[in-house]
Structure 1
Amino acid sequence: MMVGKSSFIFFASIALFFASTVQAQHEDHMVYVDVYYESLCPDSIKFFTKQLYPSLQTNLSHFVNLTLLPYGKSDYTTVQNQLEFTCHHGPFECEGNKIQACALALIEKGQPSEGLGYNRITVGFINCLMDKVDRQTSNTTFPLKECAEINQVTNYVDIDNCAHHVDGSKHLSTLGELTKNLKPPLTSVPTIVFNKQYRKEDSDLAQENFVRALCQYIHHDKPAECSGSSGLKTSFTILVLLVSLAFAKLF
């Protein structure tokens, strides 16, 4: 027996309802995650490449509204209308921080990827920079071209120019002011803040198990990554039952 037009509309309506419900769940339960870190800090690199970035390759990505602040324990002063930075791990870190600040501002104009609370390309590019950086005391180099090719960043030349221009200093100083506004003041790097409220135990936990720290703040319809079972799976099961009942009525 063929399914008529009215039945097609019914199934389409169910699908649209399910999709809108899932999207609403994501928006309602999105967790704000602010990461205060430094481009050459070993602990920052470890957190970003071993905890944060891998977690964002899962369904958890839809529950994260991410803000990256590559500044840490840096400082700056204004000398003859020029911004001069000093950084925790030396001048090369200042360069790395500026590169990342420019990437955050320039890749896809800083806009989040559709359905995510951050830009996927930017996060991938920064993860690559931190993972592949050649940390040397005398001549640290950042693999901009290599990471741009891996992550399909077409304007990496603009990012490099920005980092060595006054624009890079301005972008980094903005991140510096945001870092200085953290309450209580930043004392360790990286510092991870959930939902705009700093709790040392959450920050410490995130560095060892970001998934566990994040899942504490997802209160309903937790994804499978949180507990091995998913509220979304339950919703899908309901959808299947509804469709099955609808088909039963047709035959």
Structure 2
Amino acid sequence: MLNYFGIYPLFVVVVVCNFFISESCNIPPALWCNSENVATECSVLDACLYYNTSQLDKKIKLTLLYETLCPDCQEFILNTLQRYVWKYGQDFVDFNFIPYGNARRTQLNNTWTIQCQHGPVECALNKLHGCAISKLVYVGKWFPLIVCLEEAAKLKMDPDAAFLLCSKKKKLDQTLSISIYKCANGVEGDLIQLQMAEITENVKPHPHYFVPWILINDLSTAQLQIYQNGLFNFLCDWHRGSVPKGCAEFTNLFKQRKNMQLLTVQNVIYT
């Protein structure tokens, strides 16, 4: 089953300047590509069809700007991403993590200073995350490690102890573990953090105002952040092409839970 017309609020605002909008179009722009009839009424059918066909069965790039000791970031990674997006969406979501967040950097002569919102320990953990992502490359390797490190961070574990625990728990190759550790405790990790800073400081069109902050297909807007709640449902809506297996599984699970909730209702009393 092809999902040609679903809610995709990220590009339709661009076409407003290029098409005559019918006076009968009283639909919010975020819903213009929700159906062929609405797209026609709002004079954006060609733009919607172009997007839908050009993105057919392509992965959606999900970028996360975060910092390692931010409680909301930890919750977002461990709950929203791990439990839903990662579990059900690996086949159609391309994960991209940028561990830097609200840190600030200053340069004096040839020396950079990075100040992290939650102090030096967070800087050390940000470096560790950056090195792990860089060295492991494949998301199937680094995502579980990041989850483990964030779980350890919630328990206030020392970064070195957390990495030792998680590298064993996730059965990392010893050579890779050593490489990540050296990176996190050396100049290479500093350079990666400067790269993370560069990416974070140059997201467009809107800069990030808080963390966690998400981008979809490299687009950064304040309005997009409202989709953090229920993110997986929106990712399923935004995907074009065959309905991903994980979306079907998640929908069925949601229906089962709803049915179970209805079965628990014994009596209804009106007063």
> TM-score when scaled to structure 2?
0.64
Partner of 2:65: helix, strand, or coil? strand
Letter of the 1:226 counterpart: C
* Residue in 1 that maps onto 2:197: 176
1:89 corresponds to which letter in structure 2?
A: H
Partners of 1:103 and 1:122 within 8 A in 2? yes
Any idea what SS the aligned residue of 1:69 has?
strand
Superposition deviation, residue 228 in structure 1: 5.3
CA–CA separation in structure 2 for the residues paired with 1:151 and 1:190 = 25
Q: What are the superposed Cα offsets for residues 40-78 of structure 1, whole Å, 9 maximum, x if unpaired?
A: 100000000101122354341010111110011112233
Residues 204/152 of structure 1: CA separation in 2 closer, same or farther (3 Å cut): farther
**Number of aligned residue pairs:** 193
Percent sequence identity over aligned pairs = 25
The structure-2 alpha-carbon separation of the partners of 1:157 and 1:82, relative to structure 1 and needing over 3 Å to count, comes to: farther
Contact 1:193 1:199 in 2 (8 A): yes
AA at the equivalent of 1:148: S
- Specify the alignment match of 1:123 in structure 2: 143
What per-residue deviation string (whole Å, max 9, x for no partner) do you get for residues 225-248 of structure 1?
435589xxxxxxxxxxxxxxxxxx
In structure 2, C-alpha distance between the alignment counterparts of 1:156 and 1:197, rounded to whole Å: 33
1:130-145 to structure 2, matched below 5 A, reads 130-133=150-153, 136=156, 140-141=158-159, 143-145=162-164
In the alignment, is the contact (CA less than 8 A) between 1:36 and 1:192 conserved in 2? yes
> Is 2:247 the counterpart of 1:226?
yes
* Mapping 1:154-193, distance limit 5 Å: 154=173, 155-183=176-204, 184-193=206-215
**C-alpha distance in 2 between matches for 1:161 and 1:27:** 42
For residue 52 of structure 2, what is the aligned residue in structure 1?
A: none
Does the CA-based 8 Å contact 1:87-1:93 persist in structure 2?
Answer: yes
The Cα shift of 1:218 comes to 0.9
Separation in 2, partners of 1:59, 1:43: 22
Any conservation in 2 of the 1:202–1:213 contact (CA below 8 Å)?
A: no
Query: Does 1:69 find its partner at 2:89?
Result: no
Cα distance, 1:103–1:27 mapped onto 2, change above 3 Å: farther
- Could you tell me whether the CA contact under 8 Å between 2:91 and 2:244 is conserved in 1? no
Distance 1:216 1:200, change over 3 A: farther
1:152 aligned to 2:163? no
Comparing 51-60 with 140-149, which one deviates more in the overlay?
51-60
Q: Residues 83, 47 of structure 1: CA spacing in aligned structure 2 closer, same or farther, 3 A cutoff?
A: same
Structure 1, gaps ≥5 residues long: 1-25, 113-118, 231-251
Paired with 1:125 and 1:47, the residues of 2 have a C-alpha distance of 15
What is the Cα deviation at residue 164 of structure 1?
A: 1.6
Q: Is the 8 A contact 2:84 2:232 kept in 1?
A: yes
Partner SS state of residue 224, structure 2: helix
- Normalised by the length of structure 1, the TM-score is 0.69
Give the C-alpha shift of residue 186 in structure 1: 0.9
What residue number does 1:211 align with? 232
Distance in 1, Cα, partners of 2:88 & 2:154: 31
Name the structure 2 match of 1:44. 73
